[in-house]
Amino acid sequence: MKILAIDTSADETSAAVTDGRKILSNVRYSQILAHTQWGGIVPSIAKRAHQERIDFVIQKALKKAGQTIETIDYIAVTYGPGLSVALEVGIAKAKELSKQFNKKIIPVNHLEGHIYSCFVQNSRGNPKRPFQFPYIVLSISGGHTMLAVFDDHLTYKILGETVDDAAGEALDKAAKMLGLGYPGGPIIEKLASLGDRRYHYFPRPMRSSLNLDFSFSGLKTSFLYFIRTLSPVEKQNHMNDLAASYQEAVFDSLLFKLKDAVKKTGIKNLLVCGGVAANSYLRQRVRSLAKEAGGSVLFPSYPMLTGDNAAMIGVVAYYKAKKGAFVEDVLNFEREPRAPLTST
Ligand code: KG4
Ligand code: ZN
């Protein structure tokens, strides 16, 4: 089953052709450079960049996969969650192609895409990774932070979510406060690897709450207040230590709740996805947690699948198509910027 998948949920314009779990092509055009100077995604810039690139990206994905729109079975597109004006570009394009070439549309939730990024295979079908349900999912990116049980295909139970900022957003904002650029996660990771995690103790919000929700906005504020107490020279001299201490607080908050989730559910197979899952130090900490629990952990199967990409959307779409989950009323098919993760 050949699927043309499109994701324009944030700052990557991406199109892919997938066949079952296999990637035939996965083209991504990143807008990071356009947003860097603003320290975050600017909606109007994102919209225009998606519009300018979408046709090119789709054509390139089809060509790389040796396909044409006629040889594709279905079109998959991310309907949410994400940036409204950005989602709209992908949806409008999917509708246009659907009408012109008489193809059904499969609507895909971006969060589901990140979960299935751990099961995407290359064109030779590697890695094999058979599904071993159930999994505990920790999905961490710039737009969301969530713990869920992945019970079976397209079946989820949400355990906890952030009540304010996302984990990636917390890293991005700290980097912005330090004048380090965007996206902050990879920059903080690099500096933190050279710094002292014990330089300053930042709070671990929600640590003692009994639920599995997260909160990062108090931590962000405490970081801001702390750096205000430093002189420019002190700040400069302790840049690595600040990054390491702050990153430690963000990751501790994630790890505490992940550990609680294992305890609460008894599920030991972990799955960690989303942009922040690119962080090697975080991976190392999750691996130790899994080992301690006598379980295992999966990350996105290839590094390029950690951030936003359309291949992961195509793989979800394959399972949805098998269940007949197509858009019924194409004309009224709309974006859902705050779409929750739901089962099919
Ligand atoms: O999944 P993603 O590409 O887009 C969203 O759906 O949000 O995630 C982007 C987020 C950003 O906040 C970025 O700072 C973070 O992932 N990120 C990282 C790393 N690489 C990207 N955070 C920590 N360490 C990294 N190496
Ligand atoms: Zn994402």
pLDDT at residue 26 in the model: 97
Q: What is the mean pLDDT of residues 331-338?
A: 95
Ligand 1 residue neighbourhood (C-beta within 6 Å): 10, 141-143, 168-169, 171-172, 183-186, 189, 274-276, 278-279, 307-308
Nearest to 30 by CA among 16, 52, 11, 51: 11
pLDDT at residue 206 in the model: 81
Atom of ligand 1 nearest to the CA of 184: 14
pLDDT at residue 39 in the model: 65
d(CA 282, CA 52): 36
Alpha helices in the chain (DSSP H): 32-36, 43-64, 84-101, 110-116, 167-177, 184-192, 217-228, 232-237, 239-265, 280-293, 311-322
Report yes or no on whether pTM surpasses 0.75. Answer: yes
- Quick check: 11 pLDDT over 70? yes
Looking at the CA of 110, name the nearest ligand. Answer: 2
d(CA 15, CA 132): 28
Which amino acid, residue 125?
A: G
Q: What is the mean pLDDT of residues 212-224?
A: 96
Looking at the CA of 243, name the nearest ligand. Answer: 1
- Tokens encoding 296: 């295992």
| Residue in 83, 171, 286 to alter for ligand 1 test, most ligand atoms within 8 A of Cβ | 171
d(CA 242, CA 311): 36
Q: What is the mean pLDDT of residues 177-181?
A: 92
pLDDT at residue 35 in the model: 67
- Quick check: 115 pLDDT over 70? yes
